[in-house]
Amino acid sequence: METKNYQHLLVDQKNGVARVTLNRPDVRNALNEVLIAELTDCFSKLSANMSVRVVVLHGAGPVFCAGGDLHWMQRSINFSPEENRRDARGLAEMYRAIDECAQPLIASVHGAALGGGMGMCSVSDIVLSMPDTQFGFTEVKLGIVPAVISPFVLKKIGEANARRYFLTSELFNADIAKQIGLVHEILPADQLDARADTLAQQILSNGPQAVREAKKLIRNVMQLPLDTALDHAVELIARLRTSPEGQEGLRAFLEKRPPRWRQPSQESK
């Protein structure tokens, strides 16, 4: 990944793992136009970087992400309809870039994930949370709705849960977030980072191309009619079984040895 100094993001890449930290702790990592543009740029570049195999997302300070920045939202009051559409489109493209990131994304959540922070949880592949984290879709309190994040949230928690939490704007804890499918694991503060590291290492032990293809498979199959999805699956497994990585994985299993994975080429992205 080309080194770039971001204003509101910290990015550290080492041994196949990229750690992205939202770095606006003074405003609880609230989203503004600068952070939105930086996240879009960052995840687009990470996705294209074949040396990055896992991404871990953190928030600096006491809160993961408190949603939209109040000053940013205040400015939107004076926007024209076209300016508001352009502003919302930028936010939508940010979530798309994160959602379509080629690598698995692990979100390490603490403090609170509200509004736009809920969107970030929804576009993450694995979400880890501290027990006392507060979650909520608080938009209707402000006379608006969680519109841009809704396609990602509904896929994550389903219509029934969205009907309750979109409409009530009530806050809920990590236990409920886990029950509705938003969070995968709840861990104490002193174990959160270590668990993210363990999961990252688990992913690194798998075939690099296979992991990318598995993530792409999930996205593709969810969007396709059954017959088309099955045709896609047949073609994919036929291709991967005869790929160098598939051959190496099978040989390693039969020979009872660890596989020697090669870095996937740019063409296999």
pLDDT attached to residue 264: 58
Sites in the chain below the pLDDT cut of 50? 1-3, 266-269
Task: Tell whether 87 and 193 lie within a shared domain.
Answer: yes
Range of the domain at 257: 208-268
The total number of structural domains in the chain stands at: 2
Q: How far apart are CA 91 and CA 134, in angstroms?
A: 23
DSSP per-residue codes, 223-247: HS-HHHHHHHHHHHHHHHHTSHHHH
Chain mean position to CA 234 = 27
Give the tens place of pLDDT for each residue, 163-179.
Answer: 999 999 999 999 999 99
**Beta pairing partners, 172:** 135
26 within some domain: yes
Q: How far apart, in Å, are the Cα atoms of 237 and each of 124, 230, 234, 259, 261?
A: 25, 11, 6, 19, 18
2 within some domain: no
pLDDT attached to residue 128: 99
CATH number of the domain to which 55 belongs: 3.90.226.10
Give the tens place of pLDDT for each residue, 212-221.
Answer: 999 999 999 9
Instruction: Out of 204, 222, 257, pick the residue that ends a domain.
Output: 204
Instruction: Out of 189, 204, 219, pick the residue that ends a domain.
Output: 204
29 within some domain: yes
pLDDT attached to residue 267: 40
Task: Tell whether 49 and 173 lie within a shared domain.
Answer: yes
Task: Tell whether 20 and 104 lie within a shared domain.
Answer: yes
Give the tens place of pLDDT for each residue, 82-128.
Answer: 988 999 999 999 999 999 999 999 999 999 999 999 999 999 999 99
Task: Tell whether 95 and 223 lie within a shared domain.
Answer: no
106 within some domain: yes
pLDDT attached to residue 263: 63
pLDDT attached to residue 266: 40
Task: Label residue 180 exposed, middle or buried (CB < 10 Å: 0-12, 13-18, 19+).
Answer: middle
Tell me the pairing of strands 17-22 and 9-14. antiparallel
Task: Tell whether 110 and 234 lie within a shared domain.
Answer: no
Task: Tell whether 200 and 212 lie within a shared domain.
Answer: no
Place of tokens 């991404």: 55
pLDDT attached to residue 233: 87
